[in-house]
Amino acid sequence: MSTLAAVPEAYLAALPAHLLASPLDFILADHLRQRVLCSLLDRLATRPRFEAGIAREVLAHIETDMAIHVIDEEQDLFPLLRRRAVPGDQLEPVLGQLSTEHAEDSAHAGLIVAGLQAALDSRQDALDAPLRAGLSRFAASQRRHLALENAVVMPLARQRLSSTDLTALGGRMAARRGILLAPEEVGPARQFSRGGGSDAHGDTVFRE
Ligand SMILES: [Fe+2]
Ligand SMILES: [Fe+2]
């Protein structure tokens, strides 16, 4: 059994499927896991000895859950918010910045994945300095990105999205993961995640 601290790594475990019935809560939980990911990136960047187990966990998360999370935002959450926001929300510059960062992060993540995979394949004892620096930069940029999403996007989503929007959002996120939400799972989410804003959004919503 590994002697690695169990608490932080546990956050990278899969989220419960039923949480998809409250899609904004699922996204926030994903953000929490991404903060844990940042801590693991810093750990790889700073510890003298290469920790292969941590590297594998980081690779798996970047290549699967984190990649899907970005698709959730780019294909579903952001377009939906653009339709529901009002001019006074001044949301467009924020979403534009976040989308730019998604593209930049994708390229950066590719370099990190390649570097860590090479270190694993060659059974390195220590990571080289450029890769360490890249890991630290990626962690820092992710933390800034998460702070902006949590401070601006998620509160506005709570306020602007209707129960119908949230049901559709959760359904699409579940489908992306090959999960079919049961009706009894969807019902409570409508009440729990409903924001305090207008109820004049109408029916909805997603078009391909
Ligand atoms: Fe996010
Ligand atoms: Fe994002």
Give residue 30's pLDDT: 96
Is 208 inside a domain boundary?
A: no
Ligand nearest to the CA of 154: 1
Give residue 200's pLDDT: 31
Domain count for the chain: 1
Give residue 186's pLDDT: 64
Is 43 inside a domain boundary?
A: yes
Is 203 inside a domain boundary?
A: no
Is 122 inside a domain boundary?
A: yes
Give residue 199's pLDDT: 31
Distance 98 CA to ligand 2 centre (A): 6
Distance 2 CA to ligand 2 centre (A): 32
Is 124 inside a domain boundary?
A: yes
Is 150 inside a domain boundary?
A: yes
14-24 pLDDT per residue, tens: 899 999 999 99
Distance 151 CA to ligand 2 centre (A): 12
Q: Which residue pairs from 54-62 have beta carbons closer than 8 angstroms and sit at least 24 positions apart in sequence?
A: 54/4, 54/9, 55/116, 55/119, 55/120, 56/120, 57/9, 57/12, 58/112, 58/116, 59/113, 59/116, 59/117, 59/120, 61/12, 61/33, 61/37, 62/37, 62/109, 62/112, 62/113
Residue 33 is part of which domain span? 6-193
Give residue 191's pLDDT: 32
Q: What CATH number is given to the structural domain containing 147? A: 1.20.120.520
Distance 199 CA to ligand 2 centre (A): 27
Per-residue tens of pLDDT for the chain, all 208 residues: 444 444 444 558 889 999 999 999 999 999 999 999 999 999 999 999 999 999 999 999 999 999 999 999 999 999 999 999 998 999 999 999 999 999 999 999 999 999 999 999 999 999 999 999 999 999 999 999 999 999 999 999 999 999 999 999 999 999 999 998 877 666 544 333 333 333 333 333 333 3
Q: Which residues surround ligand 1, an ion (CB under 5 A)?
A: 149
Is 198 inside a domain boundary?
A: no
Is 1 inside a domain boundary?
A: no
Give residue 182's pLDDT: 77
Ligand nearest to the CA of 150: 1
